[in-house]
Structure 1
Amino acid sequence: MSATPASIGIVLHDFALGGTERIALRLARAWAARGVAVTIFCGSTDGPLGMLAGPDVEIVAADPPIARSALSRQRLARFAAECFRQRRIEACFIPGNYHWSVIPALRSLPPPHRPFILAQVSASLDKPQRGRWRQLAFDRRMRRLLSGADRVVTLAESMRRDADRILFRRVAVALPLPALEDEAPPLSPVPPGNRTILAAGRLVPIKGYATLIRAFAMIDDPAARLVIVGAGPNEARLRRLIDELDLGNRVDLPGLVGDTRPWLDEARLLVLSSQFEGFPAVVVEALAAGRQVIATDCTPATRELLTGPEFGRVVPIDDAPSLALALREVLASAPPPPALLAAAVAHFRIGPVADAYLQSFG
């Protein structure tokens, strides 16, 4: 196969609102714009992100649909293998850890139908919170599933080293997260006196918003305001906490928004308060908008992105006092030039990253 495949199949369970799905669809659109025949094989068309694929990407869905369940990825694997058996497609892109279960079924196809498999690692592989034995079990499972991949792409250099170590072979390459459009919106300076703190993501416990709200209550700054954009099952619990802390006039939960950039333009900084993340696109987007970030140490990516105090702070997970201290420090300092922060993440633009992915096939 040539370095740039003429056809690529992407396996997605569905079009759920998730970072892995969003990035896969943006890559699909970019590859199709470069003349590659791109087909998405999905278990279901459920979810709001399908429109991101664009008109030039073919979508083939299972019939009947495969809803997410404990065993649904095995069914998705069988469906994807049959699709590749029926079509001659040169390469396959497996987006993110969630879809690794598909790889063995594709690898077992006979040579005329077996594609070149490029698998993406979308989350940190080595988690201290797993403990020794759970980590060893994870390593064995990863080694079994990814042994069928011809190449592995990680989103950070630390993940690349972990992947090669766990797989016992040099197979991984680190490529930037394609989080930004090629056409960058104009930068807006931080409005004078702005003390709005923004967070963005699903309202679920793993995002650490309860800790963020408690930290916000500790900063004792009547002019500060906290806005958390997103929706999810934890909303009622967070609203009760806001009422308990008497923050109703200073904390806003406006719900799901289609584009966080206007909210970033109106904010002083972004907070990522998660207990765990893969590679947080929202941090890249905030820096691209010229806004500082306070992030928990929930992924090695936060330290790779926030390399100095001008970019923000990294704080411990689930530590409200440390988060409150970081908030006070950043709010008390003068904001850096937005262009300085945006320049640090310019290499995350979709165009060059999509080209780098294409060169990783073969």
Structure 2
Amino acid sequence: MIRLPIKKLKQGMIVAQSIYNHHGASYLVKGQPITKEYIRQLRKIGIPTVAVTSSNPNFQLMPPQDIVQEKTRVNAIEKVYNAFQTVEETGQFDAKSIQAVSENILFDLIDRRENLVQLTDIRLHDTYTFAHSVNVAILSAMLGLLCHYTKKELLLLTLGALLHDLGKINVPPAILNKTTGLTAEEFEQVKQHPLQGAKRIMRMERGLPSPAILAAIASEHHEHMDGTGYPRGLSAEKIHRYARIVAIADVYDALTSERPYKKAYTPNIARNIMVNISKGQFDPDLLALFFNNVSLYPIGTVMQTIYGYGIVSSCTFGKTETPTIVLFADRDGKVRNEPETIDLSTDPAGNRAIEIVISDRELRHFIREINIDPSIFLHNTEREN
């Protein structure tokens, strides 16, 4: 996968990410071939770059399957948007609609549990909250499944994750979409959203299952295990177990998403931030379980290793730090006569073999230098299989 500026897109390239507004993926859906009309629309809505499976239109691959179907995600985004709008305008909540979304997400996860999480999408800034809530629900449900929760528990956790940011209704859009740093006063307003969300849930308790638990998820998803979070400074076991799960999903999706004030971090960088830089913030057992099932190096990631340059061809549960790569060039960038497949999970060097992940900008330069898009080696591997 490579992210290209709009001016570099060509007809026939396969989109490796979806672009969502509040009505779902109405602009671009992952796996679709690019047309002139798509390019025109992307320019019109101001999208600067799009990820494609290859910069070479003659060697295009289908992106890996997500853990939920595209139609499930699209429907969920629209339903969450409509529910939030209705709450804001009337104070009423369509509980049945959102519960149905939770059931659809859970059904997909159970049906597709063999797929690692490989989130790749763009959310337009003014509708970020709704797609973010859906991603957080998907990630939370996945982690709940790994914890062997019952179906009833999973549905409640998923519903709570969908509603975790309900309190942002009270935050002015100008603050939520601000492209520069927040002032102390603005941040104080943002910090009120967990309690505001919990209050709204408790006011709408009729028709909601276990409203007290749903309110706890909303009010506690920014609490930290070491007591440094907000709004109440809760710690460890005082934080509801569901809120500890949603906290992980919430931060991971935020880190790996592009926002007005930052670029998206790659999954491996997000992991480093959450495990090492934010040490003490998350439940360590849940965090380890989470990252064993998230693709740290998604298929198509190009990396520099101790053996030379490689492209990730596959990754498996429990071995997300050690993917299988196709080694296609030596350490000097000279393309090998014969590519070599290396499973880093069985290689003596293991994850120590990975030196750096090549950024999109570096990859574009690298492709110009060697005159080959590394994705061609995935194409060859796919044909052999």
| TM-score for the superposition, normalised by structure 2 | 0.29
Indicate the structure with greater helix content.
Answer: 2
Normalised by the length of structure 1, the TM-score is: 0.31
Larger RCO (alpha carbons 8 Å, 6+ apart): 1
